[in-house]
Amino acid sequence: MAEKSSKGSMLMNWLDERTGIRHAMDEALNEPIPGGSRWAYVFGSLLLFLMILQIVTGIVLTLYYAPTADHAHASVAYIQKVVPGGALLRGIHHYGSSAMIILAIAHLAQTFLYGAYKRKRELVWGLGVVMLLIIFAFGFTGYLLAWDQAAYFGTKVGTAIAGEIPIIGSLQQKIMLGGTDLTTVTLSRFFTTHVFLLPLALIALAGLHVLLFRKAGPAGPYHDRDNHRVDRFYPKQIFKDSVAMLALFVVLAYLALKWPAELGPVADPTSDYLARPPWYFMPLFQLLKYFPGKFAIIPTVVLPAIIFGVLFLLPFFDRKGERNPFKRPLATALLILMLAGAGGLIYLSKYQDRHNPEFAEKLKQQDEEMHAFFKAPFQPQQIGAKTVAVSAKAASNDTVAPNAYMESCADCHGDKGEGASAPELLGVAAKPNRAHDDLIKILDDARAYGLKKPMPANFPDLKDEDKKAIVEWMVKLK
Amino acid sequence: MSVHHASEENNSERRTFLGVISGLIAAGISAVLGVTIGRFAISPALSSGGAETWTDVGPLAEIPEGKPTKHNVIVSQNAGWGEFNSQKLVWVLKNGEKITVFTAVCPHLGCTVNAKEEAFICACHNSKWDVAGNAVAGPTPRGLDVLEHKIEGDILKVKYMDFKQGVSQKEVLS
């Protein structure tokens, strides 16, 4: 033992001579905490932990994720349904984003209630407010990446809101979209923002935040009852932080496994999907209902600008030394009002959706579609033609399609059955469940054969002899 | 809440205990996350290289007798979220019951082998093979690579593979 520890200290001496690690560790671990360690102080460390967790899970998700409109959804479905540990990692990342917002608000609220933003800590506070905005931007840009119905239509609405802002709105929207519509270019720039720009900004600001916080030192409690007590960061506060981190990690992993992060069917721009934002944008969504037309800028620009402006500048006009929340009734009441207001708006939005029969029905149907897709086994995306030289083969088909085919089928399946927006019909009769009689039955009830939209369920306009003519021609297609 | 005393700072046993617990928590989270990420990241390496894949050349009846014919076949490769289908070329020679299928990849440096006057040539570096695929001239290190084939119903199928180029022995690339 003795020999081992001396070897250890030799290594330490060697390292210390070159890095000054002893002094750095001393600075980091022995920071005094006036008034003693507290559970109320865990939020900052939790946010740092969560930021690292989000970065780590985010990086590994990109091992399989493909940021293009054609493949994004398939790649996310693959992560969720096939890759070992994929559901857990994606789930932690998904719920982690919500946890980030909740904990950032809790951290701000604690600092606010303890009056810890006051003199000497104005910049620490200001950086925190900016980071809250960045966290919301993470949520907004990350939401699109799965490219399912909710992602597509949610972002469609989100970017439209950005476009309604007077003067700069329309340019801003075009920059966000990378054009005039939500396309694969939009997905690329949301991806770039989400995985490169925002993380760089957040890491830089968080570093500065911690640095300036260490420079100013912890503010301690708002009262002086515990003045006699001073803990060091290590081990008491670190212990509390660690326990909180473990609890957070267990909760995130539990949520990820028990209620996996949702993924609906792939985005279909032609559908009438009813978009609902994630919970943290719901207060804004609900407020928009009360400010129609040109007043929409009140909840989208004016109110957020006032809230974040006031928050940012708070330490500059609230310059009294008083820190006790009970002796700052206005400040405390304002915080409670804001949090209750946001909570109330979320509740109201859910309540109205539940009690509007039309919306409730549509949302229920969308939810069922989402779960149906989620349960269905993963289908790999087909890249490249699965059949050889289709057009050449189709061209060699010298039989002419019957008129009924040209009228009812050719637009989607091609004039010679070579396929277009719908699959090719060449060689169809050789496939399972596609014999002559099956094909006739498909024309009467396509759904019974598992064929999905846009294939019509049946063709009421076709006479029986028309159907026969079509199928007789089809089975000859090689 | 327990009552705290300043003297507790000196309670080194308790300090160590809290430190150890904190360290265990950090190690536990890192371990769970590390194992999950490890499996997630290396899973493609652990999956078997995929079952044998047979691909259709075409109906046997349509393959002419005694004369090499070129056919496109589809090779499907599963990679992550996609099934990537690509077209490859094969040469088929039918002499009554005997069928030989060659890959059209030149064993020299990978150009596409062509047929001319009932023999095979590679225009890149002037390699030549006879109709049975034996090397006759040029820099080719070996004969044309024969692919395994089978007949199912009236369809000729082939197991498409890639082989190492530039060596005298046929070596499968996988």
Q: In the structure, how many helices (H) and strands (E) does chain A have? A: 21, 3
Nearest-10 crossing angle of helices A357-375, A329-355: 80
Stretch A393-417: mean pLDDT: 71
pLDDT of residue A4: 53
Is the pLDDT at B49 greater than 60, yes or no? no
B113 touches B105 (CB < 8 A) = yes
pLDDT of residue A97: 97
pLDDT of residue A420: 67
Query: A245 CB near a chain B CB, below 8 Å?
Result: yes
Q: Is residue B126 very low, low, confident or very high in pLDDT (cuts 50, 70, 90)?
A: confident
Closest CA to A314 of A478, A56, A119, A87: A119
How far apart, in whole angstroms, are the C-alpha atoms of residue B28 and residue B35?
11
B102 touches B145 (CB < 8 A) = yes
How far apart, in whole angstroms, are the C-alpha atoms of residue A289 and residue A266?
28
Least confident of A378-392, A421-435, B61-75: A378-392
Q: Give B143→chain A minimum CA distance, Å.
A: 27
How far apart, in whole angstroms, are the C-alpha atoms of residue A204 and residue A217?
20
Q: Is residue A397 very low, low, confident or very high in pLDDT (cuts 50, 70, 90)?
A: low
pLDDT digits (tens, 9 = 90+) for A290-342: 998 888 889 888 999 999 999 999 888 877 878 888 888 888 998 999 999 99
Query: B27 CB near a chain A CB, below 8 Å?
Result: no
A138 touches A55 (CB < 8 A) = no
A398 touches A369 (CB < 8 A) = no
Both tokens of A335, joined, read 């915080």
Is the pLDDT at B10 greater than 70, yes or no? no
Please return the burial class of A163, using the count of CB atoms within 10 Å of its CB with bins 0-12, 13-18 and 19+: middle
Radius of gyration of chain A (CA): 30
Stretch A62-88: mean pLDDT: 96
pLDDT of residue B62: 84
Q: Give B151→chain A minimum CA distance, Å.
A: 16
B73 and A388 within 8 Å at the Cβ level: the answer is yes
Query: B74 CB near a chain A CB, below 8 Å?
Result: yes
Cα end-to-end distance, chain A, whole Å: 81
Is the pLDDT at B44 greater than 70, yes or no? yes
B59 touches B69 (CB < 8 A) = no
Stretch A239-263: mean pLDDT: 96
B80 and A78 within 8 Å at the Cβ level: the answer is yes
Stretch A447-451: mean pLDDT: 84
**Which chain A residues touch B69 with a CB distance below 8 Å?**
none
Query: B25 CB near a chain A CB, below 8 Å?
Result: yes
Closest CA to B9 of A39, A42, A32: A32
Interface of B with A in 119-148 (CB under 8 A): none
Nearest-10 crossing angle of helices A149-163, A122-144: 130
Burial A260-275 (b: 16+ CB within 10 A, else e): bbbbbbbbeeeeebbb
Query: B15 CB near a chain A CB, below 8 Å?
Result: yes
pLDDT of residue B59: 87
Q: Give A144→chain B minimum CA distance, Å.
A: 19
Q: Is residue A377 very low, low, confident or very high in pLDDT (cuts 50, 70, 90)?
A: very high
